[in-house]
Structures are given as C-alpha cells and as structure tokens.
C-alpha cells in the first residue's frame, strides 16, 4: 500500500474525522466494515437519509461516493442490494436501510459488532458490519494508509 504525502495524510485524517467513522471492504468475507462510536456510525444512517431525500439522486444510476478514498458508493437502483461496489436500491429502499441501521445501533455499546444484510435484501452479495467503539474514537486511526 502506497504511503501518502504529509499534506495528503493530514487531509485524509481530517476527512475521516469529518465523516465520523471509518469504513473498508473485505472481499474475502464479502462485507463492508464500518468502525466508529455509536454516534459516529449513526452519521452513516443520516447520510443515507440525506441521499434518499435529495431529488438529485432520483434517476437510476445516480450515486454518491463516501469517504476520503471514495471506495463505497450509495446508488439509486431499481432493487435493493449490497455488493463490492455499492449499497443500492430505490430511494425508499435506502431510507429503509437508514432506519434499520438506526434500529440496530440504538441499543449498541462499545465493543459490540452488529451485522446487517438479509434484513435489507434477502439475496445481498455483501453484508454491513458495524464495530462500535468508545465515544472518543478517532476513525483516522483505522486507515492503514495513514500508519507511521
């Protein structure tokens, strides 16, 4: 993995901190991993809500990239799903996913790991895995490109 310049490193740290959670994908396990405090992870649900209520995303294939590295995208699609590239569905599907995430995270405590997949889409290729950390968790500490 290529090391970032000092300026790029600081910018990337700030972007993770602004996002309030870290995410990455694991193609072997077929999952998107989200790591953050409960409140930080709930900002992901807020991002999904914002996407689902924005008229710019009504047309099929419209999408939004998340995070400093922009690996994950939320995409408008005729049916719900999660795969190695995106979380997709109709705007109503995406809004429903935001509600499922809030419901699962509401009682969560630091140290808990919450998985969501078939609740959103029965034949989903990937699942979402949320690792709940302490309130003062810094998501930039999880990015391997920022190590050192």
One digit per residue, the tens of pLDDT, for the chain of length 148 reads 455 688 888 999 999 999 999 999 999 999 999 999 999 999 999 999 999 999 999 999 999 999 888 889 999 999 999 999 999 999 999 999 999 999 999 999 999 999 999 999 998 999 999 999 999 999 999 999 887 5
Q: Name the residue ranges covered by the structural domains of the chain.
A: 28-137
3-state secondary structure the chain: CCCCCHHHHHHHHHHHHHHCCEEEEECCCCEEEEEEEHHHHHHHHHHHHHHHCCHHHCCCCCEEEECCCCCEEEEECCCCEECCCEEEECHHHHHHHHHHHHHHHCCCCCCCEEEECCCCCCCCCCEEEEEEECCCCCHHHHCHHHCC
């Amino acid at each position: 993995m290529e090391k970032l310049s000092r300026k790029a490193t600081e910018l990337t740290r700030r972007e993770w901190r602004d996002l309030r959670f870290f995410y990455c994908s694991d193609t072997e396990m077929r999952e998107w991993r989200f790591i953050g405090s409960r409140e930080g992870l709930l900002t992901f649900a807020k991002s999904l809500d914002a996407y689902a209520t924005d008229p710019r995303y009504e047309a099929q294939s419209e999408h939004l990239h998340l995070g400093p590295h922009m690996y994950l995208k939320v995409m408008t699609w005729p049916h719900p799903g999660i795969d190695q590239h995106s979380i997709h569905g109709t705007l109503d599907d995406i809004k429903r996913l935001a509600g499922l995430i809030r419901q699962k995270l509401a009682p969560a405590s630091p140290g808990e790991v919450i998985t969501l997949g078939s609740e959103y889409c029965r034949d989903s290729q990937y699942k979402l895995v949320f690792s709940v950390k302490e309130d003062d968790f810094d998501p930039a500490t999880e990015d391997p490109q920022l190590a050192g």
